[in-house]
Amino acid sequence: MKKRSMLVIMAHPDDESFGIGGTLAKYAAEGVDVHLVCATGGENGTVEAKFLEGHASIAALRAAELQCAAQHLGLASVIMGGYRDSGMAGTDGNEHPDSLTAQPMEKVAAHFAQVIRQVRPQVVVTHDPIGNYLHPDHIACNRATELAFALAGDAAALPVTDHPAYQPQKLYYHTFPKGTMKLLVRAMRLFGRDPQKFGRNQDVDILQLAEAGDFPIHARVDGRAYRQQREAASACHASQLAGGPPRNGLIALFFRLMGGADTYMRAVPAGDARLRETDLFAGVG
């Protein structure tokens, strides 16, 4: 049997650690080749000057932080997509011609499909259709990855170049349970906080997310045994963490509400309402 391989397509440096770091560390420790595509350079975040010392740009800093995180998670490779961070909706980054959201979707999908052919994973993972928290780059990754998943195995639709056509077996979307989002809204209100201003830059609307499309949870991957690796990887992204990793406060509460599990919707093959998996490689041949 071919060695197990997973390709994770995320939008920014830090998405791999803050979101599904437990899953990635778990599979890497179990001998799976875990490959990461980081679609953008994460240039649009605000960074304190002290973090930029020794780095030519924010993108160079974020790339260095990502490589540090990848070592802690045990990733087999990190592939930079080369697109520019688009920022949240309505920001100046959306207008930049090199931003991910400014690219034709078919072009990005073809790019990702060629990576799939190169890596040849059985399992592909990306953001959910609302980009987890409505980030335009996350949404673009979801749409491009969904198309790339189909293109990779279709030599007629996408001509073969350096690598032959290859069809992965499973596609998952990382998604947050709506029940957890609603609990977080209630908790924020109890603490006197505005649920429409969540996160480091207060640009995430938890209330809107709690009311957005409800994606079924088909798989829960328990990453509690790999908490140390996830926290070490998260700490690598020091420029994105005000005061260190979120061990206290509302962000830490959110992760406690998640119960140490990363949750996924299975997009291909489509899961039904009864599907409950604990292993993303379940049924892989």
Q: Which two tokens stand for residue 82?
A: 């080369």
User: Is 98 contained in some domain?
Assistant: yes
In this prediction, residue 192 carries a pLDDT of: 82
Task: Indicate whether 244 pLDDT > 50.
Answer: no
User: Is 135 contained in some domain?
Assistant: yes
User: Is 274 contained in some domain?
Assistant: no
Average pLDDT, the chain: 89
Task: Indicate whether 188 pLDDT > 80.
Answer: no
Task: Label residue 69 by pLDDT band (50, 70, 90).
Answer: very high
CATH number at residue 97: 3.40.50.10320
User: Is 156 contained in some domain?
Assistant: yes
Which residues span the domain enclosing 133?
Answer: 5-176+215-243+261-268
User: Is 197 contained in some domain?
Assistant: no
User: Is 209 contained in some domain?
Assistant: no
User: Is 10 contained in some domain?
Assistant: yes
The answer to whether the beta carbons of residues 232 and 68 sit under 8 Å apart is no
User: Is 80 contained in some domain?
Assistant: yes
For residue 269, is the peptide bond before it cis, meaning its omega torsion is within 30 degrees of 0? yes
Q: What are 119-166's pLDDT values in tens digits? A: 999 999 999 999 888 899 999 999 999 999 999 999 999 988 889 999
More confident residue, 63 or 214: 63
Task: Label residue 46 by pLDDT band (50, 70, 90).
Answer: confident
In this prediction, residue 245 carries a pLDDT of: 46
Q: How far is 175 from 217, CA to CA, in rounded Å?
A: 8
The answer to whether the beta carbons of residues 73 and 30 sit under 8 Å apart is no
Total domains present in the chain: 1
Task: Indicate whether 90 pLDDT > 80.
Answer: no
pLDDT, mean of residues 181-185? 74
Q: Which of 16-20, 79-83, 248-252 has the highest mean pLDDT?
A: 79-83
